[in-house]
């Protein structure tokens, strides 16, 4: 588990890496950028962080679900 501090938002998050993934800096950057938008759809994407599209699967309702990475704030 990686603990990412987000001082700009006075928060932190825990990222569970289920495989040996090395791009936590990119995940942190993407989450910060998404947090700064006023777009509610983009904000709701903060429920899950994906490393890349190949690590998600589309379920029967058409929504993607994480296969390898999840975080909690």
Which H, E and C letters describe 26-59, residue by residue?
Answer: HHHHHHHHHHCCCCHHHHHHHHCCCCCHHHEEEC
Residue 26 backbone dihedrals phi, psi, to 5 degrees: -70, -40
pLDDT of residue 4: 77
Q: Which band of pLDDT confidence, cut at 50, 70 and 90, is reported for residue 56?
A: very low
Report how many domains make up the chain. 1
Q: Provide the terminal-to-terminal Cα distance of the chain, rounded to the nearest Å.
A: 13
Q: Which band of pLDDT confidence, cut at 50, 70 and 90, is reported for residue 37?
A: confident
Domain that residue 15 falls in:
2-72
How large is the average pLDDT for residues 59-72? 44
């Amino acid at each position: 588990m990686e603990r990412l501090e987000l001082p700009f938002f006075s928060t932190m998050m825990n990222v569970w890496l289920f495989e040996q993934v090395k791009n936590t800096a990119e995940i942190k950057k993407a989450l910060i950028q998404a947090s700064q938008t006023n777009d509610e759809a983009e904000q709701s994407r903060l429920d899950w962080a994906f490393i890349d599209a190949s690590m998600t699967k589309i379920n029967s309702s058409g929504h993607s679900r994480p296969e390898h990475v999840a975080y909690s704030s």
